[in-house]
Amino acid sequence: MKPDPRKKGVWFSLGGVLLLLVIWQFLSLFSGTNFLLPPPRDVLARFGQMFSEKEGWLAVIQSGERILQGVFFSAAVAVIFAFAVWRLKVLQRLIEPFVLLMKTVPIVSFILIALFFLGNRVLTLFISGLVVFPMVYESVLAALSDVDHALLEMARVFCLKKRDILRFIIVPACRGQFLAAMGVALGMAWKAGVASEVLSLAKPSIGWHLHDSRLYLDMEGLLAWTLAIVLVSFISEKLIILVLRSALSYVGRKLPEKARRVMHTAETLEADVEQKSEHPPAITIDDEQCAPQISDFLSETSHSVTITIDGAGECQKHQERSDGMGHPAVITIDGLDKAFGETVLFRNFSAELPLDRPFIVNGASGSGKTTLLRMLASLERPDAGVISGVPGNGRFVFQENRLIPQLSARDNVRVVLPDYDGLRADALLQRLDLSDVSGQPAELLSGGEKRRVAIARALAPKSGILFLDEPLRELDEKRETDAILLILEAFTRVPVILAAHDERLINKLNARVLTLERLQDRMSDIENTA
């Protein structure tokens, strides 16, 4: 049985403390006088005497209140500013000089300058916060910059609420760096706060007692209060970090349970059909928030989106009405160009994609299957060309699963549903043989299980069209059959377009096919023919 690393670390820490006491005792014995360096025993006795009286506790409480107020207020402001800068990059230029000033100017200079304007209580709070702000701000901003953009795109596609994006994607991504910054900042805040109390003679406070001990050459008292600062700083840091870690972990770990008025069962997975309205449903397009939305894709009349990119790179979107089953009969691609740097995927590409059967985009790796799906779903802008007839409110099974790692399989499906509909999520997971792992965090699932959860998530909410990028990879034959049945059931309600290289799916889905070739291969064939 391997020893617990945490227990091993505690023993090493205790050993370090013991070594420090031994060195201290040794130096005290050979210093020639207890006046300059009293032995640990005398200092500990003085420490016990200080806290046997009310005055000692009062000083710690007063100092702790001021310093911790400054820490919490400054940390909250730093997080708000970091989030604002992350969302609006231009603000970073405005804030950078102030952050640089806080980091480079000696803390004593700030204290002496602030003494002219602030009272003792506010001074300690201000100086403590001044130390904390740049540490927390820069750490949180770095963490926000590293938030998984794939998860943010998934959230936009499935129109997750802003509070859910913040709670389940952003907060977990920033938690580690925030806690690390707070751990360091708390220790620095105690040092800076006590220093401000020493210079301002704030009474009662730890700093005032330190100043008093120095004034009367009381080395025992000076060392005893220094020991008090170390212990109080250590204990407050551990307690606060423990509380923050628990709170932040709880916030992003589980969806709230909400009852649904509409009941779903495993046998009834079809979307709820609302009564037909006299007016066609409204569509809203917001590139920054989510994909185009349709209020009811099952009504008789619906809209589709046309994307036009002209030669100057200007993007225009038009709404088109179509009748029938609630979606246009054909998606039309005309003169499409798309390149990533020097890699050209499409040049003057045109095609028609009938939606009367499942549609498979086939081709070798690198031929542009995923890119084409992303352009159809408005997740990627073409360089030029026109794409018309694409139903709005599309949902996506991405090539990567893009599950929220700390949420359970069930909650990864619930999070995209109105009122976090657990019954519909349970029904889909049951159909995909995931009931046994529905409560496990997504990060602990196998590759095939994650893939099935991603399929369930795409099929769960209402949609105008389903885009499935290699949806059946990592699935065995039985799981693949289950998924195909669900996809075929979904097609009875909405169009389905898949990117796949497995030609067996063509017969299994009775699908139409568009086969793509890499542009370099097409150019080589043309040159060889010529």
How does pLDDT run across 259-292, given as a tens digit for each residue?
A: 444 444 444 444 443 333 333 333 232 333 343 3
**The dihedral of CA 142, 148, 154, 155: what is its sign?**
negative
Domain 291-393+462-529, CATH class in plain words? alpha beta
The residues that bridge with 101 in the sheet, in sequence order, are: none
Q: What distance in Å separates the CA atoms of residue 62 and residue 43, rounded to the nearest whole number?
A: 23
More confident position, 406 or 200: 406
At 1, is the pLDDT very low, low, confident or very high (cuts 50, 70, 90)? low
CA angle, 396 then 397 then 401, to 5°: 130
Beta strands in 106-208 (DSSP E): none
Which pLDDT score, from 0 to 100, does residue 107 have? 86
Which pLDDT score, from 0 to 100, does residue 292 have? 34
Least confident of 250-254, 413-417, 493-497: 250-254
CA–CA distances in Å: residue 154 to residues 148, 379, 459: 10, 10, 14
Which pLDDT score, from 0 to 100, does residue 3 have? 58
pTM: 0.78
Q: What's the mean pLDDT in 498-507?
A: 84
Give the burial class of 52: count Cβ atoms within 10 A of its Cβ; 0-12 exposed, 13-18 middle, 19 or more buried.
exposed
Per the CB < 8 A criterion, the answer to whether 81 and 132 are in contact is: no
Domain 51-251, CATH class in plain words? mainly alpha
**Of 186, 174, 203, 185, which Cα lies nearest the Cα of 86?**
174
CA–CA distances in Å: residue 408 to residues 67, 253, 418, 443: 39, 8, 17, 9
Proportion of the chain in helix, strand, coil states, percent, rounded to 5: 55, 15, 30
Judged by DSSP in three states, 255 sits in coil
Long-range CB contacts (within 8 A, 24+) of 474-483? 474/447, 474/448, 475/448, 475/451, 476/448, 478/433, 479/432, 479/433, 479/448, 479/452, 482/431, 482/432, 482/433, 483/432, 483/452, 483/455
Domain spans in the chain, listed from the N-terminal domain onward: 51-251, 291-393+462-529
Q: What distance in Å separates the CA atoms of residue 350 and residue 328, rounded to the nearest whole number?
A: 18
Q: Would residue 161 be called left, alpha or beta, if left means φ above 0 and alpha means ψ between -120 and 50 degrees?
A: beta
Which pLDDT score, from 0 to 100, does residue 172 have? 93
Q: What distance in Å separates the CA atoms of residue 405 and residue 249, rounded to the nearest whole number?
A: 13
**Of 449, 314, 463, which Cα lies nearest the Cα of 391?**
463
Q: Would residue 511 be called left, alpha or beta, if left means φ above 0 and alpha means ψ between -120 and 50 degrees?
A: beta
Q: What's the mean pLDDT in 156-162?
A: 91
Q: What distance in Å separates the CA atoms of residue 275 and residue 65, rounded to the nearest whole number?
A: 60
pLDDT in tens, 34-92: 556 777 777 788 888 888 888 888 888 888 899 999 999 999 999 999 999 998 888 88
Q: What's the mean pLDDT in 458-476?
A: 90
Per the CB < 8 A criterion, the answer to whether 437 and 409 are in contact is: yes
Question: Where do we find the tokens 């699963």?
Answer: 401
pLDDT in tens, 93-134: 889 989 998 888 888 888 888 888 887 778 889 999 999 999
